[in-house]
Amino acid sequence: MSESQTAGVRVVGAREPCPCGSGRRYKACHGRDGHTRTQQRVARPFAGLAGECDWVAFREILPAATATLRVRKNHHTTDAARAVTLATVLPLAWPAMVRLDGSIYVGAQSLTASLDPSRDLAAILLDALAAPPGTPITSVPAAADAVGAAALRLQDVLEPAPLDVKVHSGFEFWGNDMPDPDGELAASLERASDALVPTQRLTSVDAAYWCRMGARTHLRWVLPDDEDALLDALARLHAARELSLGDGSRYVGAFRAHGLLVPVWDLAADATADDAEGPAAALRKQLDALLAAPTPLTPQERRSRAGLLSRQVTLR
């Protein structure tokens, strides 16, 4: 990341709440991979995948969601295509599991062995494709310096198809056909369900997610646009007092995840996802118009931009 991109980015303390909104301390959430900091991070690990923004959302925002993945034919271990599902999290934080019917679930939020989640998730998927039914994949392959099949990335393994994101109100998609002699899976399901944040995906725009955390309601929106140009556009709207998503909403800042900017708004406490649809679509049109015809910022817009930068943090 360039110096211009990191200027004004606030440092998050290890014991502070993680800015992703998970409710956990930063060191236990997005600060958990400090042991890999000597490696070179891939700035945009999901670039080139259809639905890059939703991949980032799966990794950083969504509590309970699934999407179907299509594996390229040359990576199937049998003649028949295997059913593969991307899930946010899996029982006991498994990286993947192969159910008794042979279908595969891959956990998007698995801890990674390197600083390239695309490579690590591809390695997990390839391990699952080679595993027999009823097998959990309990560890992440060390893919940072791997060669051969383990060095492949999701871009190499998957067909170029957008994600059909399905947000769930619970973790029923885990199923109940995995062996559970000690009741650990059932306990894991209960713990995960207790911590679930109600979340919905907007339909009027891509990769925007409404959520309700206690008494507060938010919209988190993963945007694919060039960051510098996007910040200019956001600053123009902020200076014009148009950076809102309806009555009672307030732009609160943004975090940077996997190379993309994720602006966050507080919404009115009783606002539903439907209430945000129209304002989000209108704001996207405004952004598109500003991005298509950039002009130098006015002094007021430059001040707004500096203020927006002061409210940004970087997760990954």
Mean pLDDT of 57-82: 83
Q: What is the mean pLDDT of the chain?
A: 84
Q: What angle do CA 125, 316, 226 make, to 5 degrees?
A: 100
Q: Is the pLDDT of residue 266 over 50?
A: yes
Using only the alpha carbons of the chain, give its radius of gyration: 20
Mean predicted confidence (pLDDT) in 251-276 = 96
pLDDT value at residue 287: 98
Mean pLDDT for 111-119 is: 86
Q: Give residue-wise pLDDT tens across range 12-29.
A: 545 566 655 556 665 556
- When pLDDT is averaged across residues 75-91 and rounded to a whole number, the result is 77
Cβ-based neighbours of 78, under 8 Å, separated by 6 or more: none
- Cα separation, 253 vs 309, in Å, equals 8
Which is more confidently placed, 277 or 144? Answer: 277
Structural domains present in the chain = 33-196 (no CATH), 201-314 (3.30.1460)
Closest Cα to residue 263, out of 217, 218, 197?
218
Q: What's this model's pTM, rounded to 2 decimal places?
A: 0.83
The whole-angstrom separation of Cα 235 and Cα 279 is 18
pLDDT of residue 79: 47
Which pLDDT belongs to residue 15? Answer: 52
Q: What is the pLDDT of residue 38?
A: 43
Helix axes 299-310, 227-239, angle to 10 degrees: 110
Max mean pLDDT among 2-6, 35-39, 204-208 falls in 204-208
pLDDT at residue number 259 = 94
pLDDT at 9: 37
- Provide the pLDDT confidence category of residue 181 given band limits of 50, 70 and 90: low
